[in-house]
Structure 1
Amino acid sequence: ETLSNAPRRTQDRRSETGDHDQVANGWQHFQNEPDTDWALPHHAEWAQHIVSRWENRQVQVPLVVDGQELFEGRPTRPCLDPSRPGVDVGDYRQATAEDIDNAVDAAARDEDGWRSLTYLQRQQVLQGVAKEIRLARADLMGAALANAGKTLAESDAEVSEAVDFVEFYADTACSFAALPGLIAQGKGVMVVVSPWNFPIAIPCGGIAAGLAAGNTVILKPASDAVLPAWELCQCFWRGGISRKTLQFLPCAGSAEGSQLVQHRQVDGVILTGGTETAQAMLKAKPDLPLVAETGGKNATIVTALADRDLAIKNVLHSAFSHAGQKCSATSLLLLEAEVYDDPEFKRALVEAAESLAVGSAWDLSSKVGPLIRPPAGDLATALLTLEPGESWALIPRKVDGNEQLWTPGIKWGVQPGSFTHLTEFFGPMLGVMRYQKLHEAIALVNQTGYGLTSGLESLDDREQAEWQAGVRAGNLYINRSTVGAIVLRQPFGGMGKSAIGPGLKAGGPNYVAQFMNFTANEPIATPTAIPDSVFSDLLTALHDSHEMTHEDQQRLAAACNNFQRVWTEEFAIVHDHFLLIGQDNQRRYLPVAALRIRVDPSDTAFDLFARVAAARIAGCRITVTTPPGFTSAPLERLHEVTEHWAGGIEFIDESDAELCDAIHRHATDRVRYAAPERVPLDVRRAAATRHVFIADAPVLADGRIELLWYVQEQSLSFDYHRFGNLGVRANEKRAPLKPALGEPPSVPSSAPTTPDQEPQRTDE
């Protein structure tokens, strides 16, 4: 057979058509958008063209309210270039209080009928948006370079992720809408409050999720990165989204921004930002339906059984890419005593950090670019001071007199409980701690209270298992960097102080569900038998009882059967949707450890029993909490039929004030109400201060929706290969090899994909 001598890597960003080979056949068959193959020489030419096109560009950015571009009579603010202090790359207009009201009113009216479309119709429009984002890759990257200081390698991955978000969320929304027996619709008006550190992917993800779920959307971009958000919105509009369906509303966060998120007609807010920002929103409006990815004090543990050279490579990429300004960045390094005390390891770590090219994002050789603004507050303290016990392994320094450009800093000897240990910096600073036993290191990591990403460098499977079981974080990484989450491959989102909401991960198949309302429109088929003995006992005890109508008994039987089936098919499984050779990418569900089921006098018998059944199958520790003195026939029967559950369920009388106290004492991880109007404002206030999610959606008999409120998602990415050597896992069945970038998919192959065959994502 003759071998072809034609190039296999034919990707060429200079001739992008926006088309792609993916067929819309469900999210289970989703394929990620490829990043740019920087090894191809013509892409260096393409990158230089982006620099030339944007270096001296000036852009005037309007508001977009109710379909109109607004320039006149609004405050004007500059779009600043972090690489060149004092240089403006454009101006943007800030919304007034009147603009806020007009935008929300337009979104609520939905004159162009986005909410009246079917989910399949919305998916078709969003496919056009994805094409426009592909075509705009260069300009999106140029805008992020000019206004957010992102190197092209960093922003390129953001564009790929943006395409993924648009296509994937449209797929998953259609999947939820197709569930039998349910009517799905959007919540109404969604506000997306986006950050400056991922000025393309994160606003795109929020917009796409809101639109795909069937909502109208208002984007409030970060004031430090308005320009890339403007370029992004134009992709949506060119792709077929109305300027009344998606509105663009830069505004001052302290006044008009607060007015926007607190507006009575806003039905939900998607925030990526600081923990303090989220808490301020909830303090002002405790019943705000807020889904937020907040801060992270992320750590990597390196044991004595790690590949130390590989650990250094991974840690530096995690700590200093985008100048440490990623929410997933490692800012804490815990070294086992043997590694910490090894002078060669310390020398290698410091020399590797010193070798990182620090410079302007306009310089294509720069690895570490500028800070979004000069250091202030906690970051300034971290860069300029030492605490007792600390010393400088590597002193951070300003570069070229630019207050926003700093070399990496490494602090040695960070003490437990110190400022460096517990504080998020969002800059190029790495604190190093010493530990003796792995369980001590895990405790130090969990002590921060955050739980976004966490990394382990160890070749020992016993240590890997202990760490997985003990560390509290939403995204876990073993023997790889803690940055670079990819849609569906590593759905992203945290725990603890790093998240507000139900714990449904961005880039995962459940994310859009929290922006949809579901109502039952027909009963689920009643089973002839219940396979689970617990449910069988429960239903047998309730059969022909006076506590439930026959209709409710039938509905509960159907719900239990559905819960059992869906749990087995979806929630009990550890999912790996890609099966890459050499890398596990697992998505799993963890039960909410301590769940309170709050009983209200207006709850139906079905509301009570279905919530208990869902919590039981999810493995939660259940506390059924009732107002003092309240009793009912269904509640009494629940006492009787669950006596043999022993410690699996507890019944307590509890006033609203006592429930608030339990929340403040961290005695519960989540509270499940049967309807939002039954949740007192004081309970919402208490929950907001402790990041406790109040699950208040109506109780459903469909477990694909109902069971979401009793679990939390976690992702694990594990590079199990050693320089291509798969060891005892060499014979595992994995995914077939994908073609090289740009190669026609019809070329046959016999080997599976490896994680190194695609450019590494640097997003999140």
Structure 2
Amino acid sequence: RHELLSGAALNMRKRRGDLIGVAAAVCGKIFYESDPEISEAIDFIEYYPHSLRLLEQQTSLKLSPLGVVLVIPPWNFPIAIPTGGVAAALACGNTVLFKPSPLAFPLGAEIAKCFWDAGIPREALQLVTCEDGNLIQTLSGHPDVDAIIFTGGTQTALKLLEKRPDAELSAETGGKNATIVTAMADRDQAIEHVLHSAFSHSGQKCSATSLLVLEREVYEDTTFRRQLLDAIQTLKVGSVWNFSNKMGPLIREPLADLRKGLENLEPGAGTSANGASVGAESWALQGKCDETNPKLWYPAVKWGVRRGSFSHQTEFFGPLLSVMRAESLEDAIKIVNDTAYGLTSGLESLDPREQKLWSEKIKAGNLYINRVTTGAIVLRQSFGGMGLSAIGAGIKAGSPNYAVQFCKIEESEAPTQGPLREGSPCKARLLFLARNWQSQLARNEHAEIRIELHKTIQAIYSCLFQYEREFSGEQDFFRLRGQDNLFRYLPVGKVTVRLHPDDGLFETLIRIAATRIAKCTVEVSLPPNLNNSVTEFLASREGKNLCDTVNFHTETDEELAKRFSTTNPATGIDRLRYAHPARVPKTIHQAAAKLGKYISRHVPLSEGRIEMLRYLREQSISVDYHRYGNLGEREV
């Protein structure tokens, strides 16, 4: 299977020119935009089988196909994104239903040919044609579809879940991405980066910079404003067949939100963070449509965009940049985080203190410092967001964990364990508990739960070991000279462990323990009148030692479902964890689907390399630390 995929990658290399030409003719994509996209597609095909081989080195795991995977890619990256989804699903041995965007179907057909001509059976990779409306009504709701890979609008993803609330959906959705420029930035460099981030592919990238947030000193710098606008106006706009042009036409005439953004200003003045009055937004550069082509638009820049306004909160997907003023970096971070999205974010600052503050506070999946916010490379900058920018488990495309979510995972032997370092009080408590339980089992105590408790002990050791080895620190898989590319895991927030009458002791204890190892806040939700051996153990001294500060809630399914919609952090739900898919009631699925909330319902595993993924989210940080090739103190 993996050899056949290598053949598909080779076919893409051979057909690079043809794919570039079709992308230009069908999608209006500039040649130099399509060329690296094909390289990314090849990387996807070759990396995903490699990532699975690495996971299969965990001898405790047995991977098998999930079944049927529906791949629904967008039109804006019509080569890389569909290829990545298809390659990930095929690498796991699944049958793939590949439904390209109607706006880019000829490219989808060419991609399918690359796989078919490499020997992938047409029964394993089926090319599907249908309008998007029929897609939601027919394909996504079909009970034989085991997983859906979707890239596109947030509302479309929510409609997919509305039709099939229990779908295993991996969706990379919209973004309202921002670049912050502080007074400590190299302003010439910032202009160069913003120019590319905002207007490459005519702003039709989910990663494109849509908001430019300037610290007050930069905002009031007339030279910076003049140079920024001059640079934007140098962009040549026109036919993709004229190779001097840097911007081509849109895929279609602007839809309602983009047209409103391109043609209208919001009236009225606003206030800044410190209460000072700010004027109404104005055109720094008014976009215009080519008289001969209604799809061809020139760049537009709005100046003085207000907090909470239409231009602040709305994803446009076009050549429109909204400029906002911030009083400080902290204020700028608040402006950026005030949107519901969290896909990409950029910072232009040479101050390492500002870089540290920003990377700790900004809510986005891909962070970029002193570089452009587009052009993520497989594994180097694994791609995917947070908030409304990611619906599903939030595992990033091109990451070490992406393909495995389309596998069934079973355990064939004891989990991986290894030496542990001294650590946090939580770790010390869990180690003490595990060792104490071992001693009790050696004395033939807990005979009635011996097997379950022994399995829990092994799982705690494995989760602690894998957290130390894989999940607790930052990793740079490439170590490029002049650029850091850091991959790290963050706790998902608050995990609600929901108990069910059929849950076993191991399934309950390891969910609580793993949540604590991941440094998440944990709460346990119990249905009314649940009284069995599991609840008895949790109420015992041993159970209380494990749960420590854990909050317990007794609530019906209906009461639990209502908590999805609350905005109160104390009662809201960041992630709901069940022990089996069949134990999740329809009521819970429907409530979560309305808001795009993810329910983790995989059977708990003893192997920490997989189990810990249920409580963590991924983040990539890319930092250009060189200064025009000079490495500074890093050279030392």
TM-score, L = length of structure 2: 0.93
Which residue number corresponds to residue 653 of structure 1? 554
Which residue number corresponds to residue 589 of structure 1? 489
* Residue 421 (structure 1) aligned with residue 316 (structure 2): no
- Out of 595, 599, 606, which is 1:701 matched to? 606
Q: Which of 459-468 and 427-436 deviates more?
A: 459-468
Which residue number corresponds to residue 40 of structure 2? 161
Which residue number corresponds to residue 271 of structure 2? none
Which residue number corresponds to residue 524 of structure 1? 415
Distance 1:529 1:485 in 2: 34
1:19-41 residue CA offsets vs partner (Å, 9 max, x unmatched): xxxxxxxxxxxxxxxxxxxxxxx
Q: Describe how 1:316-465 pairs up with structure 2 within 5 A.
A: 316-388=195-267, 389-465=280-356
Question: Where in structure 2 are there 5+ consecutive unaligned residues?
Answer: 268-279
- Out of 243, 255, 261, which is 2:140 matched to? 261
1:354-380 residue CA offsets vs partner (Å, 9 max, x unmatched): 000111111111101110001121000
Distance 1:477 1:679 in 2: 38
* Residue 609 (structure 1) aligned with residue 513 (structure 2): no
Amino acid in the other structure paired with 2:4: V
Deviation (angstroms), 1:526:
8.5
Deviation (angstroms), 1:722:
1.0
Residues 161, 596 of structure 2: 8 Å contact kept? no
| 3-state secondary structure, aligned to 1:398 | coil
- Out of 57, 75, 79, which is 1:200 matched to? 79
| 3-state secondary structure, aligned to 2:296 | strand
Change (3 A) 1:632 1:148: same
Which residue number corresponds to residue 430 of structure 2? 535
- Out of 604, 608, 626, which is 1:721 matched to? 626
Distance 2:11 2:542 in 1: 58
1:332-368 residue CA offsets vs partner (Å, 9 max, x unmatched): 0100111111111111111100000111111111101
Amino acid in the other structure paired with 2:378: V
* Residue 573 (structure 1) aligned with residue 473 (structure 2): yes
Distance 2:548 2:453 in 1: 26
Distance 2:416 2:361 in 1: 41
Deviation (angstroms), 1:400:
4.4
1:620-643 residue CA offsets vs partner (Å, 9 max, x unmatched): 100111112323333343343464
Residues 495, 574 of structure 2: 8 Å contact kept? yes
Residues 417, 465 of structure 2: 8 Å contact kept? no
Deviation (angstroms), 1:605:
0.2
Q: Describe how 1:666-685 pairs up with structure 2 within 5 A.
A: 666=567, 667-685=572-590
Amino acid in the other structure paired with 1:192: V
Residues 416, 608 of structure 2: 8 Å contact kept? no
Deviation (angstroms), 1:395:
0.5
Distance 1:530 1:231 in 2: 52
Deviation (angstroms), 1:525:
7.4
Distance 1:525 1:386 in 2: 59
| 3-state secondary structure, aligned to 2:485 | strand
Deviation (angstroms), 1:530:
11
Residues 151, 367 of structure 1: 8 Å contact kept? yes
* Residue 175 (structure 1) aligned with residue 70 (structure 2): no
| 3-state secondary structure, aligned to 1:434 | strand
- Out of 622, 626, 643, which is 2:522 matched to? 622
Residues 69, 97 of structure 2: 8 Å contact kept? yes
Residues 136, 163 of structure 2: 8 Å contact kept? no
| 3-state secondary structure, aligned to 1:671 | strand
Change (3 A) 1:273 1:462: same
Q: Describe how 1:43-442 pairs up with structure 2 within 5 A.
A: 122-388=1-267, 389-442=280-333
Deviation (angstroms), 1:653:
1.1
Deviation (angstroms), 1:689:
2.6
Which residue number corresponds to residue 71 of structure 1? none
Deviation (angstroms), 1:253:
1.1
Residues 595, 670 of structure 1: 8 Å contact kept? yes
1:247-297 residue CA offsets vs partner (Å, 9 max, x unmatched): 111211112453011111111110001001000011111111110000000
Distance 1:529 1:157 in 2: 42
| 3-state secondary structure, aligned to 2:295 | strand
Distance 1:552 1:376 in 2: 57
TM-score, L = length of structure 1: 0.78
* Residue 663 (structure 1) aligned with residue 564 (structure 2): yes
Amino acid in the other structure paired with 1:533: A
Amino acid in the other structure paired with 1:658: E
Which residue number corresponds to residue 740 of structure 1? none
Residues 457, 479 of structure 1: 8 Å contact kept? yes
Which residue number corresponds to residue 273 of structure 2? none
